């Protein structure tokens, strides 16, 4: 009896859900599985000698959570706080540690489900963001949604080195 050759088909990639939000007039998205909650903007405490993109810290049920102005982090203008401004709480897992970070955004839009075929690679030229920050680009109506890689955009190691550089710069100016 001849042995039957069994070939598994490659599993179809599942659609992913993304939380979409606005920074200025641009749409961005981040994987929903990294999002813990969305808070109305309030009581962000300024921390002296931090880089501009650090909006401050908040008390989230007894936990001190740093809040990053995502617009500044991505090289845009700072967010001007208004009634739709939100803090998106995200959870990142790196080196077996969990980090909780708040992202200051102009407004939260919606949760969208995108199949892998709906996500295009970011263009190699002309993007106003560092390429490693971008997972891809999706179309939403007539607009584009830039899908961010939270692990790279908000890398605790890189953020810590930026804070350290800012502190050293402040010391050298004294």
pLDDT digits (tens, 9 = 90+) for 135-160: 889 987 788 899 988 877 776 555 55
* 5 within some domain: no
**What confidence score (pLDDT) does residue 82 get?**
93
Q: Is the pTM of this model over 0.85?
A: no
85 pLDDT more than 90: yes
* 65 within some domain: yes
* 160 within some domain: yes
Name which of 31, 52, 11 is nearest 159 in CA terms: 52
If pLDDT is split at 50, 70 and 90, which confidence band does 8 have? very low
**What confidence score (pLDDT) does residue 173 get?**
57
Q: Tell me the C-alpha distance between 65 and 59, whole Å.
A: 6
- Of all residues in the chain, what percent carry a pLDDT higher than 70? 74
* 71 within some domain: yes
* 45 within some domain: yes
The total number of structural domains in the chain stands at 1
Could you tell me the CATH number of the domain that includes residue 162?
2.40.50.180
Name which of 60, 56, 61 is nearest 44 in CA terms: 56
Residues 6+ apart with CB under 8 A from 150: 30, 31, 34, 90, 92
* 148 within some domain: yes
**What confidence score (pLDDT) does residue 92 get?**
82
* 4 within some domain: no
170 pLDDT more than 60: no
| H helix and E strand count, the chain | 3, 11
The answer to whether 19 and 32 have CB atoms below 8 angstroms apart is yes
Q: Tell me the C-alpha distance between 55 and 50, whole Å.
A: 9
Domain that residue 137 falls in:
16-173
Q: Tell me the C-alpha distance between 17 and 60, whole Å.
A: 25
């Amino acid at each position: 009896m001849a042995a039957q050759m069994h070939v598994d088909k490659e599993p179809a990639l599942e659609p992913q859900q993304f939380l979409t939000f606005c920074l200025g007039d641009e749409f961005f998205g981040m994987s929903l599985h990294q999002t813990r909650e969305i808070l109305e903007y309030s009581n962000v405490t300024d921390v002296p000698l931090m880089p501009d993109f650090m909006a401050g810290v908040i008390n989230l049920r007894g936990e001190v959570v740093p809040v990053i102005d995502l617009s500044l982090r991505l090289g845009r203008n700072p967010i001007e706080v208004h009634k739709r401004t939100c803090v998106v709480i995200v959870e990142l897992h790196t080196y077996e540690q969990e980090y909780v970070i708040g992202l200051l955004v102009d407004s939260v839009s919606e949760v969208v489900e995108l199949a892998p075929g709906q996500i295009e690679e970011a263009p190699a030229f002309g993007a106003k963001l560092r390429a490693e920050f971008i997972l891809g680009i999706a179309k939403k109506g007539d607009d584009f949604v830039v899908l961010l890689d939270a692990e790279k955009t908000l890398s605790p190691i890189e953020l810590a080195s930026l804070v350290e550089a800012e502190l050293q710069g402040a010391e050298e100016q004294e």
